Structure 1
Amino acid sequence: MFRPSQPLLFRPMPVLNKLRIHQPLPLSPRQSKQLLNLLTSSFRQQLDMEHPQFRTDITPAPTRRRRLSVSDHEKHTTDRHMHSLLTNPLFSSRNSGSQVSLSRDPMDIFDQAVSKGMMTTNYAKACLQAKKRQIVRSSVLKVRDGMRDSGAGLKVLKWLISSGTTKNLEFLDDEAFTQILMEYMVAENLQEAAWGWIKTSLERLPALALLSGLEFTQARRKIVGPLLMLVRAEASDKSCNLDAAYISLSRAAGYLQGVPTTEMIHLLSVPEWFLFKTTIKFSSVRPAPSEAGFESFLSLVPVSTMHPERQFAYLSLLHPTKPSPELALRYFPTIRMNRTRDVMKKSNAQLENDRLNIQLGLETAKFLLEHHRQSEADYVINFLRTNYPRQLGIGDMRQLEQAKAEATSLELLEGLGLA
């Protein structure tokens, strides 16, 4: 068979200009899957370029050092002693690899400081974080098991109670301390102690009605903080399903029975949003939740968000026993497209809204193709290409149409045996 040379193949061919294809040929299932994979990869690349990953290490970013004052040189003896202990290489996040850094257990230092009356929540936080780093570097198969076996959470909890620190909830204002402590408490099955703090915190809900603006936001953060930290801790182990986290949110909602829906949304929206994002982000790598656990989470969506339609649509796709795209297919026509096409001019909320719609669309199209619902999958793909070309990395729609025309022409040439 005659095959043109490479220059001939890419040279403009006048005969193609005479072709008039009124309707684009429908995509085959194989072509639809290829297009979906292309759009998904392009969307992820756009996210990587526009939203680089945040730091995930425990150590906070270094801050600007200030000039030392006279008072800094006159610290109390106990502060200087604790500083010398906690600046030991053992508490450094660097991987020194030396045997010296592993020679002493951080919780031995904790015990020593407690016995001398020098312990504070800030120092306890450093001990717990150092212990976790030590566990991560060890040969333990699961970090949560290592945390459980360490008994560090119980040790710190006993100190909090005996020192009178738990008489009020001020110690929970340190979110980093609360988070690491909750992780140990979950690993050691000490959640009931945390629930005592959560219930006490939720009892402050009526005070929110008297606040507004920034004061309201800050007060709500303090009230919901312990619950959010517990939910995060329950969800922190990616080798486990999210049942425990779902049940925690349901239990908190039970404490709020009789509270108006708007007030429940104020409190539950933050941990519910975290759980929703965690559910959709790690659905492919986590063990599936139980039907009962997932259904309990679904039942809380109406009292946890002002706009539940998209969450219902997305979660219905991920149902562990009855996944369905029907709510998603009904949701897409209701989306009110923002007229601002320039991504750089959109607010963060609008950009997040677009990203979630795109992710939902890609997951829906994938589900439909896997279940041989070709025409509905094509509808979803075309909806995304039409309304989110920039976010998908497609660029100007004219370029897309030109690419489609060229692809169709090449298919025609292949059919004629000219390519």
Structure 2
Amino acid sequence: MQAAAARRAFSSLASKIHPQLPLTPRESQQLLNLLTTSFRSHLDREYPAGPSEAPPPSTTTQIVKVEQPRRLPSSYDSASEHIDSILSNPLFARNPSWRGSDSAAANALKDPLAWFLDQAAIGTADISKATLCLDVLQTSQNKPKGRRSSLSNKDGRPASMIAEWLRTSGEETSKDFLISLPVTKGAPRRSLVNRLVPLLLAEGNHAPLWRWYAYEPEEDGILSQAQISPFKCQLLKEMINAARTRDEAFAIFQQAFQLAEAGKRSAYVNSLQVAGARLVDMIVADPQVQCTPELYERFALSTNGWLFAWKPVVQAMLCLCHPTQSDPQPGLKIIKNPDSFLASTHSKPSRQRFFVRMCLGTAQQLLKEEKFAEAQIAMQFTKEHFADLVLIKYHSSSPHHITRGVSEKNKTREEKKNIALLDGLLAT
């Protein structure tokens, strides 16, 4: 009996010290007011505001108007700002519409954003659930209009909401967010940042992207610069891919380049090389896309900071693709003195194709300018050093050659164009 009475007494005392949740709205407000008052009192006690300067007492009866000095910022104001930032977190700012376990994820199909915000409100949100939310939203947008999922509170900014959760929860500096799992079999796994980048750009919210790109891990922290370097590369490349215009892509790259110049860290240089190569590929693939010449020239000039031995070839290609003033002379100069590039060109197939394309582009531009002798030099050089790419050997007696599929025809289409250009130039 005594033991049972003791247990009841202990249970009663424990319930008073730590009442069971969930609390009623009134109890929750009382608890919040108590925590707020206690926190402010503690902060004022530990960090009191500086004493106000009072004017010296006057020795005359004349009333002198003295300007009061500006009051120093109080710890009360700092506490208020801190509490406001805490209360803006979905954990406090949102009253969840359901309190379920992971089995409640079926609600994500109906309203994925509301489901995720509820998960954040009850403290169970994580990177995988944020990824699931965006996946369901993207899948829903591809469905017919009548079958799409709804957005909570008629808000069309789900990426911004998830980015804010990443910031307030501290997940944006976590290993789960910054380091992608290694790719095994099958297609590469798209990380959360891959999904967020195009949505944030579409929503006009660039701030989270640059905050993530500029993040520097602590020297004694869990992550190192080398570990987050792939994240920066992936992030900047996705920003270039998701840019809605060529000018926007140039502006994004220029801002990253300025951060790299200020930081002088290898993580930035690596990301510039990856994103810069992607931007160069986009320019070469479609040089007719409209852009501002000044932004184009600024990007071309930036190659001095992130390209090394291969820089002259890339710059020659950019001169050929200039939106208003195509210049073949840098390419022709390389063709006349190619020794320093041929070795590295033949060692990498991608560089070899890029180099051949630069040579062919140089010849075409020279032909447009009616500089036939120089154009023939460029084509003769290409035929001599890259015959396997610009010449096609036909074997009419082979039945296999007759039955080639469409893919094989597509593969040689570019080579046939090169042959036609060769024949025309050599004839002149």
Superposition pairs of residues 164-313 of structure 1, within 5 angstroms? 164-166=170-172, 168=174, 171-174=177-180, 176-201=191-216, 219-220=225-226, 222-223=228-229, 225-226=231-232, 228-237=234-243, 240-257=244-261, 265-284=269-288, 287-307=289-309, 308-313=311-316
Which SS does the other structure have where 2:191 is aligned?
Answer: helix
Paired position in structure 1 for 2:117: 111
Give the CA RMSD over aligned residues.
3.8
Tell me the TM-score normalized by structure 1.
0.56
Q: 1:354 aligns with which of 352, 355, 362?
A: 352
**Would the aligned equivalents of 2:383 and 2:391 in 1 still touch at CA under 8 Å?**
no
Counterparts of 1:322 and 1:183, CA distance in 2: 32
Paired position in structure 1 for 2:337: 334
**Would the aligned equivalents of 1:325 and 1:364 in 2 still touch at CA under 8 Å?**
yes
Number of aligned positions between the proteins = 279
Higher relative contact order (CA 8 A, sep 6+): 1
Q: 2:365 aligns with which of 342, 364, 367?
A: 367
Counterparts of 1:258 and 1:111, CA distance in 2: 37
Where in structure 2 are there 5+ consecutive unaligned residues? 1-99, 146-154, 181-189, 395-418
Counterparts of 2:103 and 2:258, CA distance in 1: 47
What is the Cα deviation at residue 258 of structure 1?
6.0
Counterparts of 1:381 and 1:137, CA distance in 2: 51
Change (3 A) 1:353 1:193: same
Letter of the aligned partner of 1:126 in structure 2? L
Change (3 A) 1:112 1:265: closer
Which SS does the other structure have where 2:390 is aligned?
Answer: coil
1:157 aligns with 2:172: no
**Would the aligned equivalents of 1:310 and 1:331 in 2 still touch at CA under 8 Å?**
yes
What is the Cα deviation at residue 395 of structure 1?
4.1
Tell me the TM-score normalized by structure 2.
0.55
Larger radius of gyration: 2
Where in structure 1 are there 5+ consecutive unaligned residues? 1-76, 91-103, 140-148, 208-214, 397-402, 412-419
What is the Cα deviation at residue 323 of structure 1?
1.6
Change (3 A) 1:264 1:153: closer
1:323 aligns with 2:326: yes
Paired position in structure 2 for 1:49: none
What is the Cα deviation at residue 219 of structure 1?
4.6
What is the Cα deviation at residue 330 of structure 1?
0.8
**Would the aligned equivalents of 2:247 and 2:292 in 1 still touch at CA under 8 Å?**
yes
Letter of the aligned partner of 1:381 in structure 2? M
Change (3 A) 1:130 1:263: closer
The percent identity for this pair of structures is 18
Deviations 1:300-358 (A, max 9, x none): 101101121001100001112222111111112232375899xxxx75xx211211111
